[in-house]
Chain A
Amino acid sequence: DAKTTQPTSMDCAEGRAANLPCNHSTISGNEYVYWYRQIHSQGPQYIIHGLKNNETNEMASLIITEDRKSSTLILPHATLRDTAVYYCIVRVVDSKLTFGKGITLSVRP
Chain B
Amino acid sequence: GAGVSQSPSNKVTEKGKDVELRCDPISGHTALYWYRQRLGQGLEFLIYFQGNSAPDKSGLPSDRFSAERTGESVSTLTIQRTQQEDSAVYLCASSSLRFAGGAYEQYFGPGTRLTVT
A interface residues with partner B (beta carbon < 8 Å): 32, 34, 42-46, 49, 51, 87, 93-94, 96-102
Residue of B50, B95, B107, B108 with highest tally of chain A CB at under 10 A: B108
A44 proximity list for chain B (CB < 8 A): 43, 91, 93, 106, 108
Classify the interface of chain A: helix, strand, loop or mixed.
loop
Interface residues contributed by chain B, number (CB under 8 Å): 25
A98 proximity list for chain B (CB < 8 A): 45
User: What is the 8 Å Cβ interface bit string for chain B, positions 5-47, against chain A (1 contact, 0 not)?
Assistant: 0000000000000000000000000010101000000110100
Are A96 and B33 in contact, CB atoms less than 8 angstroms apart? Answer: yes
B95 proximity list for chain A (CB < 8 A): 94
Chain B, range 54-95, C-beta contacts under 8 Å to A: 56, 59, 91, 93, 95
